[in-house]
Amino acid sequence: MVYFDAASGAPLHPVARQAFLASLDEGWADPARLYKEGRRARLLLDAAREAAAEAVGCRADELTFTASGTRAVHSGIAGVLAGRRRVGDHLIVSAVEHSSVLHSAEAHEAAGGSVTRVPVDRGGAVDVAAYAGALRADTALACLQSANHEVGTEQPVAEVAGACRAAGVPLLVDAAQSLGWGPVPGDWSLLAASAHKWGGPPGVGLLVVRKGVRFAVRGPVDERESGRAAGFENIPAIVAAAASLRAVRAEAAGEAARLRELTERIRARVPHLVPDVEVVGDPERRLPGIVTFSCLYVDGEALLHELDREGFAVSSGSSCTSSTLTPSHVLRAMGVLSEGNVRVSLPAGTPAEDVERFLAVLPGVVAGVREKLGAGAPQAVAGREELVLDALGKRCPIPVIELAKVIGDVPVGGTVRVLADDAAARLDIPAWCEMRGQEYAGEEPAAEGAAYVVRRVV
């Protein structure tokens, strides 16, 4: 099996394995105790904290080890909102944050707080001026990921951090995807990350809170990790996380250049190998190992299963499948196609031969899935220069497939009115128009679902 899903979890780095096994015999005792075994465990914990802090670019006493990256995000957001409650209850997030950030925002909103979600452009990046414009006198906290987990787009963190600093608002950066490649630039205030994203063991997260940030721990306070992470520290896993972070950083420059060339190869060749494909995400400001593309007229779940049969483990940013009918919030915010979405995220050490075999297999896999979905003629009733396409009860990507079949049946300037009750159609039909050079004329109410009006241009 060729593993192309490093953005979900990178394979365990050899240094992490070695460090974990070595520390099992040394780091089992309670590091809070004063006897010999406790002091030995404390030395390991302190050394790991120093190494991780050096990689992040912070003081060791600003860094807390948590049970996961998600826990780090939740604790960081809750702690600042509580610590700055006298300032206000306004929280800012981008529309493409990781679900851990968005879930915290939803909980804050449910508790009576206010949330501003800053939109992104079609490449997935926030506009610095728009983000700065969302800052208010009652803003307690702002959040911005360093790079997107689904499409790889890097965010203008340093510029946003400068705007937040000028407004006196702390900025929390979710650096889960980028920390293995280098420190996060800018004058940020808090940072969260997760070890399994850079080849460390799962179950270890980092939370950095800069000195001077008002922070109040929510819930019962534990005496460990400055009260910010309750429970006995998993010292072997923490040591492995810090050791692997240092190791991947030492390899980062050379490996980034190599993986960037491989992902650029995929970005350039997939649109030529497979018709009706859109490569999404910023083409320049992006992480080295991630490339994402969307295929028209393809069910994402079926495509991933077929690639799995061919020996490739990839993931999809789209949730438009038989089990969940809600498109990815990232793709929806970007306004790009959600159907048939494939994310290829290359782990360190990926050989070029694996990428070449993927490119050789992909066209046949996509063609096979399209063939399975292409059966059945659409039900349509022709009007004067308008055609009504009844796609009610049909799920993504069927409405778009049927739209593509009938758009040529109306003259240039004529319209196709697509009746659909699948929520994904609200995103996918405009995205199809963008890809195919047709005009999306808007959405209209209908007795069932909605009517999506497409005007033929070409």
- Both tokens of 4, joined, read 């192309």
d(CA 258, CA 289): 9
d(CA 61, CA 350): 36
Write the CA distances from 101 to 115, 160, 163, 422, integer angstroms.
Answer: 12, 17, 20, 27
**Considering only CA atoms, which of 174, 177, 180 is closest in space to residue 151?**
177
Q: Which amino acid appears at position 319 of this protein?
A: S
Q: Is 396 a catalytic residue?
A: no
Q: SS3 of 235, please?
A: helix
d(CA 454, CA 86): 50
**Considering only CA atoms, which of 110, 103, 106, 108 is closest in space to residue 73?**
103
- The DSSP code sequence of 88-145 is --EEEEETT--HHHHHHHHHHHHTT-EEEEE-B-TTS-B-HHHHHHH--TTEEEEEEE
CB neighbour list of residue 157: distance below 8 Å, 6 or more residues apart: 144, 146, 171, 173, 184, 185, 186, 188
Which of 143, 164, 320, 433 is catalytic? The answer is 320
CB neighbour list of residue 309: distance below 8 Å, 6 or more residues apart: none
Rg (CA), the chain: 24
Which residues are known to be catalytic?
320
